[in-house]
Amino acid sequence: MAKSIMGSGLKVLVKQRGPIPLDASFNCPAGELLALVGPSGSGKTTLLRTIAGLYQPELGQVVCMGNPWLATERRYSLTPQQRKIGMVFQDYALFPHLNALANVQLAMGHLPHAQRQSLAKQWLANVRLEGLEKRFPSELSGGQRQRVALARALAREPQVLLLDEPFSAVDQVTRRRLQRELALLRQQISIPIILVTHDLEEAAALADQICVLHNGVSLQQGSPETLFRRPTSPLVARLLDRHNIFEGEIVSVAGQLRLQWGDYDLEVAEGLTELTLGEKVTWYLPPSDIVLHRRARPSQGERENPVAATVHEMVVLGGITSISLRVSHGDMLRFDIATHAARRNQLAQGEQVYVSLLAEGIHLMSGNHVAMPSRHMPSKYVFD
Amino acid sequence: MAKSIMGSGLKVLVKQRGPIPLDASFNCPAGELLALVGPSGSGKTTLLRTIAGLYQPELGQVVCMGNPWLATERRYSLTPQQRKIGMVFQDYALFPHLNALANVQLAMGHLPHAQRQSLAKQWLANVRLEGLEKRFPSELSGGQRQRVALARALAREPQVLLLDEPFSAVDQVTRRRLQRELALLRQQISIPIILVTHDLEEAAALADQICVLHNGVSLQQGSPETLFRRPTSPLVARLLDRHNIFEGEIVSVAGQLRLQWGDYDLEVAEGLTELTLGEKVTWYLPPSDIVLHRRARPSQGERENPVAATVHEMVVLGGITSISLRVSHGDMLRFDIATHAARRNQLAQGEQVYVSLLAEGIHLMSGNHVAMPSRHMPSKYVFD
Amino acid sequence: AAASDLQFALTEAAERFQEETGSEVRLNFGSSGNFRRQIAQGAPFELYLSADEAYVFALHEEGHTHNEGVIYAIGRLVWLQRSHRGDLPDPGNPLEGVKQAVAAHSNGQRERIALANPDHAPYGVAAQQALQSAALWESSAPLRVLGENVSQAAQFALAADARGGLVAYSLALAPALAERSEYVLIPEDWHAPLRQRMVLTRQAGDIAKQFYEWLQQAEAVAILQQYGFSTE
Amino acid sequence: MDWTALSVSLRLAGLTCLFLMPVGIWLGRALASAHFRGKGFCEALIALPLVLPPTVLGFYLLQQFGRDAPLGGFWATLTGGGLNFTFSGILLASLIANLPFAIQPIQRAFENVPANLREAAWCSGLSPWQTFLRIELPLVWPGILSAAALTFAHTLGEFGVILMVGGAIDGETRTLAIAIYDRVQAFDEQGAARMSALLLLVSLTTLGLVYGLAGRRRWMRG
Amino acid sequence: MDWTALSVSLRLAGLTCLFLMPVGIWLGRALASAHFRGKGFCEALIALPLVLPPTVLGFYLLQQFGRDAPLGGFWATLTGGGLNFTFSGILLASLIANLPFAIQPIQRAFENVPANLREAAWCSGLSPWQTFLRIELPLVWPGILSAAALTFAHTLGEFGVILMVGGAIDGETRTLAIAIYDRVQAFDEQGAARMSALLLLVSLTTLGLVYGLAGRRRWMRG
Ligand SMILES: Nc1ncnc2c1ncn2[C@@H]1O[C@H](COP(=O)(O)OP(=O)(O)OP(=O)(O)O)[C@@H](O)[C@H]1O
Ligand SMILES: Nc1ncnc2c1ncn2[C@@H]1O[C@H](COP(=O)(O)OP(=O)(O)OP(=O)(O)O)[C@@H](O)[C@H]1O
Ligand SMILES: [Mg+2]
Ligand SMILES: [Mg+2]
């Protein structure tokens, strides 16, 4: 499921029935960034707290760089201090009686006293808080507080960085800068970074791997590309805010296996052979693999799985226009094109258009099943 | 600067020197949604608190539906209770000793006792919190708390809705649902809604008008279209995370006014005549008005301001690819195209491409000046 | 360690003793009962002047003293009330004030009668006996306020809400009270004699022994008498 | 066993709590939200009734409560009765003597109520009074409880002030504390021990129940 | 003016605070974080020294402090001296009598420290001890201050226990409170008033300064 690097990186395996049901496993090699995504309340914060040693699950293993941090089966657990993590709390958890500078300095216990102040200033500058060093948390805005929390976590020079929505309260411009800082940092220090985020674009842009959580269960871990193009289940696709999930049936047309979808028999590049004739499947198509035919000028490649549809909705968001097309049997295809391309093609609500569904993009999923937390505990953990 | 509807909607004018410098004015007609955007620490929360009656600026006027709420010049101020606002606090401010249901019920003082419980349950269901009614805030996740806060603000059935980043802690899928609820609500009740958000896409999608703040100063208010295509200053453009801001000079080519940019003399649809020959201007081009020439197949309209450039960077984010082009004199053009379009055109780093800069999109700004808070207080406010 | 009714008398006696012998004695006034307990626990008191001779006997029995000591004074009880009230009972009928208060009580008034607590204060016991002998014990019950010791009883007696009280003669003669109060003596035979006994503890040093002896001399006796104590 | 004394004690302690808590809540809240130069001295002033030995405080109160003193006279014109040597008198004295216990813990509790909860309540339409009842009061409850417990216990044990002002009148101002003291002074150590045990038991039960019931605050654990 | 008594009083009150605050912090913290069935009764138990009249408490302590009692005997073998009628004795008595004031306000303060601050401190690498010193202690400071002020004031005014255990020995166990009491008993009201005024003034200054200095917490205003 995920690449395994001998003895390096962070590996987490957690299982419990209650009070917060959990059944998750994921790992993050050193130097990589793993994004934890999932609906609100799916257990992301709880998992970070487990890694940090602030939450003790019923059953769990945490191994970092080959060293066990938590092994419930032999009642072994390091303290949060021993784990040497840097954590940005979702609600910041700044020390109210210390000003911004002192909040950051406090996390620099590993450095000689003399260096702390200037370095702490440097960290605050890195998160764009120059001049606010002497402010107490109560005198800072929400986003400023969050950045102090980020600076504090980084200042610890941790072995593992745990970021619980570290950019949720800062504006887009600052967020980009901070994201860039984080990307730079990743190149400098080779530690696992776990990022909880609700911003899927952020996850896609920053993460080497994404792990999708739902009700405490880790559904899939993989590269952003894999997750966004090849989600293992409709649920994962939906959790990743993907549309274009449809039902179809495996049929044989002129001796070739095809995917029947409404009136269309679609060519599919991969996966058809593993399915049996007549089987109902759920399939997904990434919006990037829906190609609009140019008005009156069909081009090469546009003959693949041509589908006629009417424009149901067009939403212009700056340079990008979101298009919903209704296919004759009722399903809705959604994709984005550049606004000028939409203009050029004179798209308008109600117009009839043709699109190609690229065979390579069509991703067949083994059914409608929703992965549920297994209530069965394995007798032995398989690790490495 | 903004449309004025007689006696209806919310009008705000605030000025003070310190401790938080403010110089802002904006308005929001009933039934519309105004998004307040600006960098972290620019005073958005402070402005909402002023509207709510929780913060008293040095000088300020707040008028709602024709009724004065605050008029510092005659020492008039309604209490927060009298203003009948619904507010989502940035840090939620849930009552820790009340469970989710009771938190919502508390805001329903205007309804008969008998109705409150079932209605409160309804509100919680609207924010997707069915089944968590009996949980105390300390037993909820960050996003769940935020949604309780949202339900509480809505349950008050307010005259003005003030939302301080109400979706920052919820996942993308839930956020979309909540945004849809909010859009529905707006059609049902005709009240002004002020939304503070860091998500410019959210602002563009939800807001009728956007007001851009910087260091407490309101720089521009207008429709998303206006703001994103015609920002009044480079600062506004930068605050809206716009790129493609360049320097140029007004020149005359064959008797016609043109915008000189590096080696190019660009046609400009609007604004050239108001400028004098030789004047240096800053100009902005929305990414939607950069049209990539199809490889080997120039089409109509693509002759407008053609520019040669090399691909500097390509970032694929799902169906959309972000492209940075370097023009010969060093400036960088950025725009997005559909990923399959990029593929179709065989774009790759270092490739030479041609783009057209649409004359209609080129927006000339009056210079490099940055609007600063005026330190001068007007002797009289001009209102309506 | 001395009973609090000796407050003034003994202070003067000690000053005189110091003038004569040059030796200083440190005085500690308080509840005789407390002192008895503290001496039993080894308190560094050398001479114990008790208001109740029973305590002295008890200490001796427990072995904290060498002997049973001697009686140094016999206290007298007085009726004390605020001055200028104009209704001071005449000496032949010293408990007239109590009778008046009892009578007024049946009219709904509440003028308090102060005394020390008869449960543990010797002057309280004497006051009870005096009231009993005048057949006022039962009827005065709702009016009685009980001081922890006789000094407190005197403070009660002089409070605005009190008719007066039965307190030590020695206090009534004290300069601090004399100007604020007036009194009548209660006949000695209305109560059992208030025999006050002193004893040297096992820790007694030379000066304490000297003072003990001196207190039995005529000069000291005169001072005690001047403060209302009789001697045997 | 002196049941009347016990009943006086409990009545006194109960009423002291009852009257003092509103005062403590009011003053504690006012002090918590106020910021002025002499605040430290105001707070110190409140602790002063503790500084005087109880008997001495009682002595001064005895004087002030007399009909010829302004306070006692005012009370007499108001009610017709005196203050000294009455239950009302010892109640008033006990209120004064316990003031520090009532205010300090409550003030600290109010200081710890986050300002934004108050604001959220206003924005939810709660009047200041409703905000106080439904938000602030539940949040400062532990502080009030502490104050009440200290006041209750201290009143039960209070002896110097009560004796001085009350005069140990059976059934009216003679508290169990005084009764125990009397037993000790009369060298009836068994009687004293019995009564002490009773007093301790009653207090332990009362306070234990109050604490136990109030301790079940699930929302504080999170 | 009885300066030695004043010095004994101040020494006693100061040392009581000094010794009792660590105990109060330790017990208050333990109680704040513990959740067990009998907690309410434990809390009630702590209030019990208040319930007994001071003289009676003093009487029981006098017995326990004797060389023939276990506690007094233990002390004697430890230090060679006795407890009764010594400064050590009244200090110990005062520690016991003031326990309730020391614990309750501090416990409440600890209960109000958000758990996530402690966690954030651990995650910042602070040991439990550093967390205590640098995070918890500053946050519970107002509670400690309240506790110290109540203890200080109450010790200054304490009379029954101190007199019983200490025996009012000049320069060692005779506190200003006892001196004032003596003046009142001797009907020397002017002397008593002078001393009371002194005592009140000293307390007001001490407490006022402490509160005033500690009140400047900018971070609490926000
Ligand atoms: N004390 C508790 N008892 C029972 N359930 C709890 C308790 N605390 C939290 N939960 C539940 O545990 C689940 C996981 O919470 P967690 O904070 O880990 O979610 P999350 O993924 O971080 O969500 P968010 O994105 O909203 O922050 C939530 O559904 C929450 O309601
Ligand atoms: N007590 C204070 N004294 C001085 N400045 C303050 C105080 N409180 C807040 N500020 C400053 O006021 C400015 C505006 O704060 P505000 O909370 O309104 O910002 P905001 O726009 O809501 O930011 P964010 O997006 O981060 O929430 C900030 O720069 C903040 O540092
Ligand atoms: Mg979370
Ligand atoms: Mg804000």
Helix/strand/coil for B297: coil
Q: Domain locations in chain E?
A: 3-221
Mean pLDDT of the region A291-318: 75
Q: pLDDT grade, residue D216 (50/70/90)?
A: low
d(CA B199, CA B214): 16
Using a pLDDT cut of 90, give the percent of chain C over it: 0
Q: What is the pLDDT of residues E115-145, one digit of tens each?
A: 899 999 999 999 999 999 999 999 998 889 8
Q: How far is CA B135 from CA B94, B101, B102, B117, B122, in A?
A: 12, 8, 10, 15, 16
CA distances, A201 to each of A235, A304, D171 (Å): 19, 29, 80
pLDDT bucket at A370, cuts 50 / 70 / 90: very low
Structurally, what CATH architecture does the domain formed by E3-221 represent?
Orthogonal Bundle (1.10)
- What is the reported pLDDT for A301? 54
| Residue matched to tokens 């000690």 | C14
For the Cβ of A42 lying below 6 angstroms from any atom of ligand 1, the answer is: yes
ipTM of this predicted structure:
0.88
Contact by Cβ (8 Å): C35, C50: yes
CB atoms near residue A377 (< 10 Å):
12
* Ligand 1, atom 3, residue with closest C-alpha: B139
Q: Which of B239, B237, B189, B192 minimizes the C-alpha distance to B214?
A: B239
pLDDT tops 70 at residue E46: yes
Ligand 2 neighbour B43 (Cβ under 6 A):
yes
Helices in E168-217 by DSSP H: which ranges?
A: 176-185, 189-214
Two structure tokens written together for A161:
């960085």
Rounded alpha-carbon distances, angstroms, from residue C106 to C96, C99, C109, C111, D104: 16, 11, 7, 11, 46
Residue among C4, C38, C44 minimizing CB distance to E185: C4
Instruction: Check whether A69 has a pLDDT greater than 60.
Output: yes
Q: Do A165 and B147 touch (CB under 8 A)?
A: no
Secondary structure element (H or E) that encloses residue E36, with its range: none
Average pLDDT over residues E5-10: 90
Inter-chain residue contact E67 with C37, CB threshold 8 Å? no
Q: CA distances (Å), A161 to each of A39, A46, A157, A383, D130, in order? A: 22, 15, 9, 22, 45
A295 touches chain B (CB under 8 A): no
- Give the confidence band of B63 by pLDDT, cuts at 50, 70, 90: very high
Q: Which residue(s) pair with B220 in the sheet?
A: B212
* Token pair listed for C194: 């208030």
| pLDDT in the model for residue E121 | 94
pLDDT of B369 > 80? The answer is no
Nearest Cα residue in chain C from E174: C28
Backbone angles phi and psi of B290, in degrees to 5: -105, 115
Does residue E97 contact residue E103 with C-beta atoms inside 8 Å?
no
Across E64-91, average pLDDT: 86
Beta carbons of B360 and B289 less than 8 angstroms apart: yes
pLDDT of residue A373: 37
Chain A nearest CA to B228, separation (Å)? 7
Confidence of residue A209 (pLDDT cuts 50, 70, 90): very high
Instruction: Judge whether residue B380 has pLDDT over 70.
Output: no
Q: Which residue, among E42, E20, E19, E41, has the nearest Cα to E30 in the 3D structure?
A: E42
Structure-model confidence comparison of residues B376 and B158, the more confident one: B158
The confidence score (pLDDT) of residue B193 equals 93
* pLDDT (0 to 100) of residue B5: 42
Please report where in the chains the tokens 């993590």 appear, as a residue: A85
Is the beta carbon of A50 within 6 A of some atom in ligand 1? no
**How far is CA E23 from each of CA D145, E17, E90, E96, E103, rounded to the nearest angstrom?**
21, 10, 17, 11, 8
> What is the arithmetic mean of pLDDT over E9-21?
93
| Mean pLDDT value across residues B199-215 | 90
Reference B319, options A287, A271, C2, A83; nearest CA is A287
Q: What percent of chain E has pLDDT over 90?
A: 27
* Of B13-27, C204-218, E92-106, minimum mean pLDDT range: C204-218
For tokens 């986050």, name the residue. D114
User: Interhelix angle for E54-65 vs E70-79, to 10°?
Assistant: 60
Q: Which residue has the higher pLDDT, B267 or D13?
A: D13
Mean pLDDT for the stretch of residues D25-54: 87
Min Cα separation E18/chain A (Å): 24
| Dihedral sign from CA coordinates of A251, A252, A257, A259 | negative
> Taking CA atoms, what residue in A is nearest to B299?
A344
Question: In chain C, what residues touch E184 (CB-CB under 8 Å)?
Answer: 155
CA–CA distance, E221 with D34 (Å, rounded to integer): 10
- pLDDT of B373 strictly over 60: no
CA distance A262 to A307: 11
- Which three-class secondary structure string do you get for A240-256? CCCCCEEEEEEEEECCE
Query: Which percentage of chain B shows pLDDT scores above 90?
Result: 40
* CA separation for the pair D214, D96 (Å, rounded): 27
Give the pLDDT mean for A357-363.
Answer: 86
**Spatial separation of the C-alpha atoms in residues D38 and E215, rounded to whole Å:** 10
B99 ligand 1 Cβ < 6 A: no
- Name residue, tokens 């007024």: C104
| Distance (Å) of CA B52 to CA A107, B45, C202 | 37, 10, 82
Q: Cα dihedral angle (C10, C16, C18, C24), rounded to 10 degrees?
A: 10
A375 has a pLDDT exceeding 60: no
Q: What is the architecture of the domain spanning A2-239?
A: 3-Layer(aba) Sandwich (3.40)
Enumerate the CATH 2.40.50.100 domain ranges in chain A, comma separated. 245-288+301-365
Return the SS3 of B350: coil
How many whole angstroms separate alpha carbon A150 and alpha carbon A102? 14
Query: Which comes out higher in pLDDT, residue B2 or D82?
Result: D82
Average pLDDT over residues A2-25: 79
pLDDT band (50, 70, 90) for residue D220: low
Q: Which chains touch A (3 or more CB pairs under 8 A)?
A: B, E
Least confident piece of the model among B66-80, B125-139, B264-278: B264-278
Q: What are phi and psi of D202, to 5 degrees?
A: -60, -45
pLDDT of residue B374: 36
What gap in Å lies between CA B64 and CA B7, rounded to an integer?
Answer: 8
pLDDT top residue among B271 and E193? E193
For chain D, give the percent of residues with pLDDT over 90. Answer: 29
What pLDDT, on the 0 to 100 scale, is given for residue A379? 32
Please count the helices (runs of H) and the strands (runs of E) in chain D. 12, 0
Between CA E87 and CA E104 the distance in angstroms is 26
Average pLDDT, chain B: 85
pLDDT score, position D14: 93
The pLDDT value given to residue B265: 85
pLDDT at A275 over 60: yes
User: Chain centroid to CA E208: how far?
Assistant: 18
**CA dist., res. C170 & res. A175, Å (int):** 90
CA distance linking residue E209 with residue C120, whole number of Å: 45
Indicate if the pLDDT at residue D110 is higher than 90.
yes
- Residue D28 is predicted with a pLDDT of 93
- Mean pLDDT, to the nearest integer, of E56-85? 85
Q: Is the pLDDT of residue B301 over 80?
A: no
Q: Does residue B94 carry a pLDDT above 90?
A: yes
- Say whether pLDDT at B384 is over 60: no
Residue A34 has pLDDT above 90, yes or no: yes
For residue E92, the surrounding DSSP H or E stretch is helix E87-111
Q: How far is CA C156 from CA C110, C153, D66, D176, in A?
A: 14, 5, 11, 20
Is the CB of A330 inside 8 Å of chain E's CB atoms?
A: no
* Helix and strand totals (H; E) in chain B: 10, 21
**pLDDT for the residue D219:** 66
- Tell me the pLDDT band of A378, cut-offs 50, 70 and 90: very low
Contact A11, A63 (CB under 8 A): yes
pLDDT at A196: 95
Angstrom CA distances, B260 to B230, B249, B288, B303, B367, stand at: 20, 5, 21, 17, 15
Going by pLDDT thresholds of 50, 70 and 90, the confidence category of residue A381 is very low
Best-predicted range by mean pLDDT among A337-341, C176-180, E5-9, E213-217?
Answer: E5-9
Once rounded to an integer, what is the mean pLDDT over residues A177-181?
A: 88
Q: In whole angstroms, what separates CA B276 from the centre of its chain?
A: 33
> What integer best gives the mean pLDDT of chain E?
87
pLDDT score of B300 = 54
Q: Which of E164, E187, E190 to mutate to test the interface with C (most CBs of C within 10 A)?
A: E187
In this predicted structure, what is the pLDDT of residue B318? 67
**In this predicted model, what pLDDT tens digit does every residue of C102-156 receive, in sequence order?**
888 888 778 888 888 888 888 888 889 988 888 888 888 888 888 888 888 888 8
Residue B125 has pLDDT above 90, yes or no: yes
Structure confidence at residue A7 (pLDDT): 55
Enumerate the CATH 3.40.50.300 domain ranges in chain A, comma separated. 2-239
Residue of higher predicted confidence among C224 and A166: A166
User: Which range among B301-310, B330-339, D118-127 shows the weakest confidence by mean pLDDT?
Assistant: B301-310
Residue minimizing CA distance to atom 24 of ligand 1: A40
Greater confidence (A317 vs B373) lies with A317
Q: Rounded to the nearest whole angstrom, what is the distance from the C-alpha of residue B121 to the centroid of ligand 3? A: 23
Residue E112 has pLDDT above 50, yes or no: yes
- The answer to whether the CB of A319 falls within 8 A of the CB of B288 is yes
- Max mean pLDDT among A297-306, B88-97, C29-38, D208-217 falls in B88-97
Confidence at residue C191, expressed as pLDDT on a 0 to 100 scale: 84
Q: How confident is the model at residue B377 (pLDDT cuts 50, 70, 90)?
A: very low
Cβ contacts of E140 on chain D, cutoff 8 Å = none
More confident residue, D138 or E67: D138
Q: What percent of chain D has pLDDT over 70?
A: 96
Q: Which CATH architecture has domain A245-288+301-365?
A: Beta Barrel (2.40)
| Residues sharing a CB contact under 8 Å with residue A94, sequence separation 6 or more, in sequence order | A103, A137, A145, A148, A149, A152, E120
Does B177 reach chain A within 8 Å, measured CB to CB? no
Instruction: Round the average pLDDT of chain A to a whole number and report it.
Output: 85
Report how far residue D144's alpha carbon sits from residue D28's, in angstroms, rounded to the nearest whole number: 10
Q: Residue A346 gets which letter from DSSP?
A: T
pLDDT of B1 over the 70 cut: no
Give me the DSSP letters along D44-91: HHHHHHHHS-HHHHHHHHHHHHSTTSHHHHHHHHHHSS-STTSHHHHH
pLDDT over 50 at B382, yes or no: no
